[in-house]
Structure formats: C-alpha cells, structure tokens
Amino acid sequence: MPPLGMIKPISLRLRHAEILAQARAALGRGREQELKQAHNARVMDRARGIVAQVQEQDRQRRCAKLAALKALAACRTAFGSMRASTSSEIDRERWRERQDMVEAVLMEIVEKKSR
C-alpha cells in the first residue's frame, strides 16, 4: 500500500484495451469486423477534421499577413501626407514616431511565422 499522500498510478489504456477486446470477443466474428470499420471511420473523420482546422488556420494567417501588408502601404501613404501637410519640424518628427510605432506592429504581423 502506498504511503499516505501518494496515489498509486493506474493505466487506463490497458483497461480500455481489455474492455474493447472483451467487447469484440462477445460480439463475435462478423460484428467484430463491423466494429473495426466503424472505429477506423471515426479515426479518419477526426483526422480529416484536424487537417481541415489546420488548413483554415493557415488560410487565416495568410489573410492577416496580406491585410497587414495593405495596411502598411496605406499607413505609409497617410503618414507621408500628414508630414507633408505640416510646416513644423517638431510635428513632422512626432508623425514619424507615430508612423514607426504603427509600422512596427504591422511588421510583427507580417513577419510572424505560421506555427
């Protein structure tokens, strides 16, 4: 018996495998094949779902990157126009600082790796 505070580990995988083996044996030969096919179909459906989910996430990352690139181009145009419309060098410097901050965030999105 384990000391107090210690829990004896159990293996659910072995119990699960034993239960499945007993259930298959009880069903007989004809139903066992049907059970295996149903299990394989569930596994394949789950795998297809996972693949579809990953593909959708990759598509969304590509869309985010494209949107960030478009926003970066628009940002440069807008900030350039703001600097051109200002006569004060101090204001131009402030607009440059703000542009740098916005561009830094957009570049993080553009350069982010997929997974």
Predicted local confidence at residue 49, as pLDDT:
95
Burial of 106 (0-12, 13-18, 19+ CB in 10 A): buried
C-alpha–C-alpha distance, residues 108 and 103, integer Å:
9
Tokens 């995988």 -> residue: 13
pLDDT at 19 > cutoff 90: no
Residues 6+ away with beta carbon under 8 Å from 72: 103, 106, 107, 110
Domain residue limits, the chain: 12-111
pLDDT digits (tens, 9 = 90+) for 38-92: 889 999 999 999 999 999 999 999 999 999 999 999 999 999 999 999 899 999 9
